[in-house]
Amino acid sequence: MNLTAIPRRLVIASRESRLALWQAHHVRDRLAELHPGCSVEILGMTTRGDRVLDRSLAKIGGKGLFVKELETALEEGRADFAVHSAKDVPMALPGGFSLAAILEREDPRDCLVSSRYESLQALPAGSRVGSSSLRREAQLRERFPGLSVVPVRGNVETRLAKLDRGEFDALLLAAAGLKRLGLAGRIRSFIEPEVSLPAPGQGALAIECRSDRDDVRSLLQSLHHAPTAACVTAERALSRALAGSCQVPLAAHATLQAGRLSLRALVALPDGSQVVRGELQGAPAEAEALGERVAALLRSRGAVAVLAAVDA
């Protein structure tokens, strides 16, 4: 890279939750190692998704509520790029924006947090399990119909505090967030993808910038992790093809082994009474096409009727 093309100062737009700021600091520190001549600052912002906590994401507009204010900062030139949890990034970005880099993935699994029970199987019938996602809720209701799934909003610390106050018997959370916050000790058990398939992009960080910022895009390539990007691209392509949103219990998880990309996915009714699954393999270079193929497979197996019932 031509060193004269490296910006001397960059500003990262980030939500102000502790996890989001950890992610922004992680990117800042990586850039400082790779480009010591570049000064990187963090602009903390509160999004509507952070402010409105008394309703589910599905009812107030979806995960894009965690992104919109950050995009406004990019558009107005107050920040150069934004760091997101990849699973929070809408499947279709607004015109003029693009994902400049996908970082190496942390643990993509869901996990169980409980002070009393070691696993999902150990939870007695009627136990109150807090979940912020329809995806987790649908899979839990399918496999453990005797449990009571209760919506829970707020950042990780808020949810853990509710658990500790006895409002829930257990929580379902993303393992990556707990690990990044130094809270891995709260994890009682990991939930394998066979039981709870992760959300598209779960565990990965995505960096968004304006499409016209070639200088920023070039700099951020040093953080890009191609194997993770292939997996996330396939997952997001599937979700996009099925119009996935917070209103739709949809899961997609890709793995890359021996040069082959394998993508598993499902769509479900929120009560878990109907779940449509599918899996295909393909070349990493054709990740987008693989996602579309698995979406077509799910449609052929009944996903259209499930999606129509969810939207009704």
The C-alpha angle with vertex 205 and arms to 1 and 217, in degrees rounded to 5, equals: 25
Same domain, 70 and 50: yes
Same domain, 60 and 30: yes
Which of these three, 171, 191, 211, is where a domain ends?
Answer: 191
pLDDT tens for each residue of 159-189: 999 999 999 999 999 999 999 999 999 999 9
Please check whether residue 229 lies inside any domain of the structure: no
* Full domain range(s) for residue 38: 3-103+203-224
Domain of 269, CATH number, reads: 3.30.160.40
Cα-Cα-Cα-Cα dihedral sign, residues 205, 206, 208, 212: positive
pLDDT at 6: 72
Mean pLDDT is lowest, of 77-91, 213-227, 235-249, 275-289, for 235-249
Is 311 labeled as catalytic in the residue annotation?
A: no
pLDDT tens for each residue of 107-159: 999 999 999 999 999 999 999 999 989 999 999 999 999 999 999 988 899 99
Same domain, 242 and 299: yes
Same domain, 84 and 209: yes
Inter-residue contact 201 to 89 (CB < 8 Å): yes
Please check whether residue 197 lies inside any domain of the structure: no
Domain of 160, CATH number, reads: 3.40.190.10
Same domain, 16 and 94: yes
Strands 81-85 and 9-15: parallel
Out of 88, 107, 110, 169, which one is annotated catalytic? 88
pLDDT at 51: 52
pLDDT at 15: 93
Please check whether residue 72 lies inside any domain of the structure: yes
Please check whether residue 29 lies inside any domain of the structure: yes
pLDDT at 86: 96
Our count of domains for the chain comes to: 3
Reported confidence tier of residue 67, pLDDT bands at 50, 70, 90: confident
